[in-house]
Amino acid sequence: MNSIYTNSIYMNRLSKSFGQKEVLTKLSLTVLPGEIFGLLGPSGAGKTTLIKILTGQLSYTGTAEIMGKSCNSLDRNIYSEIGMVMDNSGIYERLTCYDNMILFAKFNHIKKEQVIDSLKQVGLTDIKTPAGRLSKGMRQRLVLARALLHHPKILFLDEPTSGLDPVTASEIHKLLLKLQAEGTTIFLTTHNMVEAHKLCDHIALLNEGNIVEFGKPDEICRKYNKDNIISILSRDGRTITIINNPDNAKQIAAYFAEDKVEAIHSSEPNLESVFMSLTGKELDL
Ligand SMILES: Nc1ncnc2c1ncn2[C@@H]1O[C@H](COP(=O)(O)OP(=O)(O)OP(=O)(O)O)[C@@H](O)[C@H]1O
Ligand SMILES: [Mg+2]
């Protein structure tokens, strides 16, 4: 496919209902080629539903396009251009990692040689271990290796590091940044705002099917930083919180002048606190 497109992913007033229940409401979003885009939201917000729509697995109303093609009528060729990791299923437990990959490569007419490349790319070394005996992190690498076999232009990842230990999650983050550097567009969902902040060029906060905020993670945090709070731990053990604005500067200076300050912290909002202030809910539900 050699079509020219401006946006990797484009949505305009995209809605989805299951029966009477509307689960996505008039979403409008654009993901540019080569960016990592993060969709954040609590359980039930509609993240997986949106990935399924974008990958042609569910119908919808409104506009949704990937690489300039309508998601309501994607032809089979698109699957050689996109990769997805939805969950850990579709792995043959008794087959080794290598044999799982070979089988998948055969189904998809991919050269055998690419199997080893993909396994190396994700750092999966125990390729002779039956998939059923892999640790969670190794299994996730296997699923990623499978999604990368055909060098997709867009990679859809539904909670790629959910349930992984911080070290493995961090290795997967590195891999995603490397893929981005090689030109892959990545659309991921997560509950984890630290992950989103670290990886994503843009994020959208999804709540009950609505986008409640969109932008670059830093910009979103700064936007909600109007009431930056300073907390002072005084030498007598009290914590004093003061809004950090010019009017209060003298009060803060006075604590220092009187040598009352044990420690001082500024509390910039993070994506979690922004989300809570917008929805009254925690992200990690
Ligand atoms: N096939 C379906 N039929 C009916 N309702 C569905 C179906 N799939 C999802 N839903 C509903 O749509 C809403 C969004 O679900 P979805 O799985 O997209 O949320 P999510 O943001 O991915 O949640 P999680 O973080 O738990 O994975 C939920 O209320 C869910 O019950
Ligand atoms: Mg989900």
- Kindly report, residue by residue over 39-79, the tens digit of the pLDDT: 999 889 999 999 999 999 999 999 999 999 999 988 888 88
Indicate the range of 5-9, 38-42, 224-228, 274-278 predicted with least confidence. Answer: 224-228
pTM of the model: 0.86
Q: In 25-112, which ranges are continuous DSSP H helix? A: 47-54, 97-107
| Ligand 2 midpoint to CA 139 (Å) | 19
Instruction: Output the six-digit token pair for 126.
Output: 């125990």
Write the residue with the smallest CA distance to atom 17 of ligand 1: 48
**Regarding the domain delimited by 9-81+152-221, which CATH topology (the fold level of the hierarchy) does it fall under?**
Rossmann fold (3.40.50)
Ligand 1 pocket test target in 15, 23, 205 with most atoms within 8 Å of CB? 23
Q: Percent of the chain, pLDDT > 70?
A: 96
Would the pLDDT of 130 be above 60? Answer: yes
Cβ proximity of 242 and 252 under 8 Å: yes
Classify residue 130 by its DSSP letter. B
Amino acid 283: pLDDT: 62
26 C-beta neighbours (distance < 10 Å), count: 15
Write the residue with the smallest CA distance to atom 29 of ligand 1: 44
| Residue 44 beta carbon below 6 angstroms from any ligand 1 atom | yes
Is beta strand 36-40 parallel, antiparallel or unpaired with respect to 202-207?
Answer: parallel
